[in-house]
A and B are shown apart, each in its own frame.
Chain A
Amino acid sequence: MKRLFLGALALAAGAAHAAPERLVAVGGAVNEIIYALGAEELLVGNCVSSYYPPEALKLPKVGYQRMLPAEGILSLNPDLVILTDKAGPPAVIQQLECTGVDVLKVPAAESFEGVLETVQVIGSQLERTEQAEELIARLKTEKAILDAELEQQESAPKVLFILTHGGAPSVGGAGTAADAMIALSGGENVATAFNGYKPLSPEELIELAPEYVLSSKSGVGPGGSTEAILKIPGVALTPAGKKNQIIMMDSLLLLGFGPRTVEAALQLHNAYD
């Protein structure tokens, strides 16, 4: 009886709100989750950060997620725009809502549990709950493998994340995606005295004495190299610099917190000897 009732409810909800057919994905992780759920044929556009899987590059781009164009998105004629709480500007999101397009705002995940939640939310919105459950189960299995590996680890290596964006290099402090990923991989972030990304002086860098320096390169365009990281004043004098323990990873893989989060954590974990 209860099942029948739930079935009727689902049917009613389905009739009131048909599954979306034309999606615009904003945010690299959102786009990746849609691909992982096998719903990529619904995508009509994504953003410049959506470069994985490589096929995603072929879709029309609506620019950067914090500077979305309202009309540009509407010109793709979507019936659902999925974006994260980092998307903006706020007025543009309001404009989208004014025009009657459905906007689904998911929290930008910065933890393993957050990824599972985002997958679940997007899966149910796209009426792909089965695929979402499969994906969640797979991620949990991967996480169990990672946890088993971490248990064998004797001590947490000291890691520092350096962000290079052309300007002065900044390091990832507490509360950043890099901090969460270092923790997930069994490392210890040495820069937790402050929140967010901050530029550090060479002296402070040496003082932090990281055993590993982690940095990211963008999947598209020229990225940073280990040599460039070693040239940042102070890095060469840290234990990481002396032993040449510089780890470079793709930024969407490392910091995206999409379906490849556990894979990234394992990869990072394996990079520590």
Chain B
Amino acid sequence: MLMTKSGSNIRYLFGLGIVLLVMMGMAVSIGAVSISPAEFLKGNLSDVQQAVLWSIRIPRMLLGVIVGSALAVSGAAMQGLFRNPLADPGLIGITSGAALAVGIMIVLVNPSSGFLGTYGLSVAAFVGAILTCFVIMRFARASQSLSIMYMLLAGIAVNAIAAAATGFLTYISDDQQLRTLTFWTMGSLASALWPTVLVAASCVLPGLVLMMRNARNLNMLLLGEEDAGHLGVDCDKLKNRLVVAIALAVGAGVAVSGFIGFVGLVVPHLIRLFIGPDHRILLPASALLGAALLLVADTISRTVVAPAEIPVGIITSLIGGPFFLWLLIRQYSGRAQ
């Protein structure tokens, strides 16, 4: 599989790119306010339609692309890093770490205006994500041979601790803070404004580039740490670099959109299933498919109960949960044969 011809790889990426473009077009033209592509091309949109398009729908679509690709590529990189198909920023506690940091920001700091009012939650989510990442890495490194098991167990413990601390914050928060916390946890792209999009892009893009530049090293890591070391990969350096990149992308994504589950798990699996495990194509393909899937989910969330909205995190978990179960069953039956 690692020997897939680069020609067909480019064809796959090209195809996924077209899918993403179609989804972007769909996300921009479908919504509570009807804007038909034909009217748009002719240029006769009303003022309200113009305003909806430029101040609400386009920033939201771009945020969906940024967050979707950040979650999917981070998921893929993390699965490669831990050599475990179940590693997901959510499952091993990175998102709950970020959520805890955001909770601390909302309840204890409670910034209402100025720089912290706008970017406080993003900064907190980023710091939370990177701290959790390092805690889990430490535990995973404690034992060389059992690192995967340690990583998952550490993830469970970190999840439990973060959940308890978030629960405590919930207890001491007032009504307003509680609502902010709850809706943030559900995940939504509704808060997309142009500054949010720019801030998210400025964190996510360097993270994605860093991960993709390490695709070859991730491929060698698939052989095991020792063999990768023989092939000239500095494993510790690679791990540290990837952890920073993942925390950057996931932290920024989670910060602007809250908890959007399962994109990081489902998308890389789909790509591996249909294209293969070569990280050089897995990572960019995950970015394209992750963005496209999140746009579909967000379009559903914006339209099914219009004029109201369902948080997109609920939709992705509704799709992702059953998929995850199917994945488990498939792996189990594969082993039994």
A92 touches B307 (CB 8 A): no
Q: Which of B46-61 contact A (CB under 8 A)?
A: 47-48, 51-52, 55-57
Residues of chain B within 8 A (CB-CB) of A48 are 308
Select B307's contact among A45, A64, A98, A199, beta carbons within 8 Å. Answer: A45
Q: Are A71 and B183 in contact (CB under 8 A)?
A: no
Within 8 Å CB of A98, what residues of B? Answer: 51, 55-56, 193
**Contact among A69, A88, A197 for B309, CB-based, below 8 A:** A69
Cβ contact within 8 Å between A71 and B302: yes
Of the listed stretches B174-182, B199-207, B210-218, name the one at the interface; the rest are far from the partner chain: B174-182
- Would you call A89 and B308 a contact (CB within 8 A)? no
A75 contacts the other chain (Cβ, under 8 Å)? yes
> Contacts of B311 on A, CB cut-off 8 Å?
67
Contact B307 A89 (CB under 8 A): no
A176 to chain B, nearest CB (A): 8
Given A98-B51, A100-B51 in contact, is the A91-B193 Cβ separation under 8 Å?
yes
Contact indicator B175/A72 (Cβ below 8 Å)? no
Give the chain B neighbours of A64 by CB distance below 8 A. 308
- Tell which of A28-36, A55-63, A240-248 binds the partner: A55-63
Interface residues on B, range: 20 to 34
Task: Flag if A100 contacts B47 (CB, 8 Å).
Answer: yes
B192 within 8 A of A: yes
Separation of A86 and B307 alpha carbons in the complex (Å): 20
A66 at the interface (CB under 8 A from B): yes
User: Quick check: is A201 within 8 A (CB to CB) of the other chain?
Assistant: no
The distance in angstroms between the C-alpha atoms of A69 and B190, with both chains bound, is: 7
B174, A195: Cβ atoms closer than 8 Å:
yes
Question: Contact at A99–B56, with CB atoms within 8 Å?
Answer: yes
CA of A72 to CA of B47, assembled, Å: 16
Contact B56 A75 (CB under 8 A): no
**Which residue of A has the minimal Cβ distance to B46?**
A77
Please give, as numbers and ranges, the residues of chain B lying within 8 Å of A224 by CB-CB distance.
none
Contact B56 A95 (CB under 8 A): yes
For residue B191, CB closer than 8 A to chain A, the reply is yes
Inter-chain CA distance A89–B181, complex, in Å, is 11
In the complex, whether A196 has a CB less than 8 A from a CB of chain B is: yes
Query: How far is it, in angstroms, between the C-alpha of A66 and the C-alpha of B55 when the chains are bound?
Result: 20
A62 to B305, CA, bound (A): 9
In the complex, what residues of A have CB within 8 A of residue B196's CB? 91
Q: How far is the CB of B148 from chain A (nearest CB, A)?
A: 37
Judging by beta carbons under 8 Å apart, are A67 and B309 in contact?
yes
Residue of B nearest to A77 (CB): B48
Binary interface encoding of chain B residues 28-39 relative to chain A, with 1 for a CB under 8 A from any of its CBs, else 0:
000111100000
Give every chain B residue within 8 A of A76 (Cβ-Cβ).
307
Given contacts A91-B192, A92-B190, A196-B174, contact A72 B309 (CB under 8 A): yes
A141 near B: Cβ within 8 Å? no
B269 CB → nearest A CB, Å: 31
A70 close to chain B: CB less than 8 A: yes
Q: Does A73 contact B (CB under 8 A)?
A: yes
Task: Give how many A residues have a beta carbon under 8 Å from the other chain's beta carbons.
Answer: 33
A74 located at the interface, meaning its Cβ lies under 8 Å from any Cβ of chain B in the complex = yes
Give the CA-CA distance A253 to B144 in the complex, in Å. 64
Inter-subunit contact B174/A71 (CB<8 Å): no
Chain A residues lying within 8 Å of B47, measured Cβ to Cβ, are 100
Query: In the complex the two chains form, what is the Cα distance from A271 to B84 in whole Å?
Result: 64
B residues 159-196 with Cβ under 8 Å of A? 171, 174-176, 179-180, 183, 188, 190-193, 196
CB-based contact A75/B190 at 8 Å: no
Give A95 to B191 CA distance when docked, in angstroms.
8
A88, A98, A100, A195 interface centre (most CB from chain B within 10 Å): A98
Residues of A within 8 A of B180 (CB): 66, 88-89
Instruction: Report if B209 contacts A (CB, 8 A).
Output: no
Q: Is the CB of A75 within 8 A of B32?
A: yes
Q: Are B32 and A71 interface neighbours, CB within 8 A?
A: yes
Inter-chain contact B176/A71, CB cutoff 8 Å: no
Whether the Cβ atoms of A74 and B183 lie closer than 8 Å is no
Flag if A63 contacts B31 (CB, 8 Å): no
CB-CB under 8 A for A75 and B193, given A95-B55, A98-B51, A99-B51: no
Which single residue of chain A is at the shortest CB-CB distance from B32? Answer: A75
Find B55's partner among A60, A61, A88, A99 (CB 8 Å cutoff): A99
A63 to B307, CA, bound (A): 8
By the criterion CB–CB under 8 Å, are B51 and A71 in contact?
Answer: no
Task: Please name all residues of chain A whose beta carbon is closer than 8 Å to the beta carbon of B57 when the two chains form the complex.
Answer: 71
Task: Please tell me if A225 contacts chain B, counting CB pairs below 8 Å.
Answer: no
A94 and B190 in contact, given A74-B33, A86-B176 (Cβ under 8 angstroms): no
30 A-B interface contacts by CB (under 8 A): A48-B308, A63-B308, A66-B180, A67-B188, A69-B190, A69-B306, A69-B307, A71-B31, A71-B33, A71-B52, A72-B32, A72-B307, A72-B309, A74-B33, A75-B31, A75-B307, A76-B307, A86-B176, A89-B180, A89-B190, A91-B191, A91-B196, A92-B190, A95-B56, A98-B51, A98-B55, A99-B52, A100-B51, A195-B174, A197-B175
For the complex of A and B, 5 pairs with smallest distance between CB atoms:
A72-B307, A63-B308, A99-B51, A91-B191, A75-B32
